[in-house]
Amino acid sequence: MPKIRCRSCEKVLNIPEKALGKTIACPKCQTKIKVPAGKSGGKSQPKRAPKKTASKPSASDPFGFGDIDDYALEDRENQICPYCAADMDEDDPVCRSCGMNVETGQMDRKEQKKRARKGPDPNLFFKAVWSESGSFLKKEWGLAIRTGGAWTLFGVLTMLCGFMGFIYIQEQMPPKVFWISMTVLSFLGLPGWFWILGLRIIGDTRLRNKFQSDRIHFDLFASIASGIRALVWPGIVMGPVTPLLILAGIAMFASNPENPVFVGIAILLIGVIPLVLLPLAMIHMTAKYKYKGWILWELLKDFTKAFPGVIYFHIVAFIVAIPAVLVAVGIFYLIQDINPFNSSVVNNITKNITQWTIDTIGMNADSDSMIYTLILVPLNISAAFLLIAPIGYIAAFPAVFIMRANGCLGYYYSSLIDTIERMKTGTPATFWVRYLSHTIDNLLYPLASFIVTADKRAMLIGQVLNGATILIMLFNKAMLPIMGIIWFLYMNWMYWTIQEGSELKSTMGKDAFGLMVITEDNKKMDFKQATKKWALRLCFQILGGIPFLLTAFQSQKRAPHDLLTKSKVVWKGDR
Q: What is the pLDDT, as a whole number, of residue 486?
A: 96
Per-residue model confidence as pLDDT tens digits over 477-496? 899 999 999 999 999 999 99
Final residue belonging to a domain, choices 345, 380, 412: 412
CA–CA separation, 245 vs 327, rounded Å?
36
The answer to whether residues 343 and 482 belong to one domain is no
Q: What is the pLDDT, as a whole number, of residue 204?
A: 95
Residue 66: inside a domain: no
The domain tally of the chain equals 4
Per-residue model confidence as pLDDT tens digits over 366-412? 777 888 889 999 999 999 999 999 999 999 999 999 999 999 999 99
Contact 35, 13 (CB under 8 A): no
Contact residues for 548 (Cβ-Cβ < 8 A; gap 6+): 431, 435, 438, 540, 559, 560
The answer to whether residues 105 and 243 belong to one domain is no
Residue 59: inside a domain: no
Residue 173: inside a domain: yes
The answer to whether residues 10 and 130 belong to one domain is no
Q: What is the pLDDT, as a whole number, of residue 458?
A: 92
Closest CA to 558 of 541, 533, 526, 575: 533
The answer to whether residues 26 and 169 belong to one domain is no
User: Environment class of residue 121 by beta-carbon count within 10 Å: exposed (0-12), middle (13-18) or buried (19+)?
Assistant: middle
CA 69 from centre of chain: 59
| Beta-strand runs (E) in 83-223 | 100-101, 106-107
| Packing angle, helices 296-305 and 307-335, rounded to 10 | 110
Residue 551: inside a domain: yes
Contact residues for 227 (Cβ-Cβ < 8 A; gap 6+): 187, 188, 189, 190, 191, 192, 193, 195
The answer to whether residues 6 and 41 belong to one domain is yes
Q: What is the pLDDT, as a whole number, of residue 45?
A: 43
The answer to whether residues 288 and 154 belong to one domain is yes
Q: How far is CA 101 from CA 49, 77, 88, 94, in A?
A: 19, 19, 11, 4
The answer to whether residues 386 and 466 belong to one domain is no
Residue 419: inside a domain: no
Q: What is the pLDDT, as a whole number, of residue 570?
A: 95
Q: How far is CA 457 from CA 20, 127, 521, in A?
A: 80, 63, 29
The answer to whether residues 280 and 237 belong to one domain is yes
The answer to whether residues 450 and 484 belong to one domain is yes
Q: What is the pLDDT, as a whole number, of residue 360?
A: 87
Closest CA to 26 of 41, 40, 9, 38: 9
Would you call 511 helix, strand, or coil by DSSP?
A: helix
**% helix, strand, coil for the chain, step of 5:** 60, 5, 30
CA 260 from centre of chain: 33
* Range of the structural domain that residue 322 is part of: 122-412
The answer to whether residues 101 and 128 belong to one domain is no
**498 φ/ψ angles, rounded to the nearest 5 degrees:** -60, -40
Residue 52: inside a domain: no
The answer to whether residues 397 and 437 belong to one domain is no
Q: What is the pLDDT, as a whole number, of residue 368?
A: 79
**59 φ/ψ angles, rounded to the nearest 5 degrees:** -65, -35
DSSP, residue by residue, 124-153: GHHHHHHHHHHHHHHHTHHHHHHHHHHHHH
Residue 529: inside a domain: yes
Q: What is the pLDDT, as a whole number, of residue 58?
A: 53
CA–CA separation, 49 vs 51, rounded Å?
6
Residue 426: inside a domain: no
Regions of the chain with pLDDT less than 70: 1, 8, 30, 38-79, 85, 90, 110-118, 253, 257-263, 266, 575
The answer to whether residues 153 and 232 belong to one domain is yes
Cβ-count burial 93-103 (b if 16+ within 10 Å, e if not)? ebbbeebbbbe
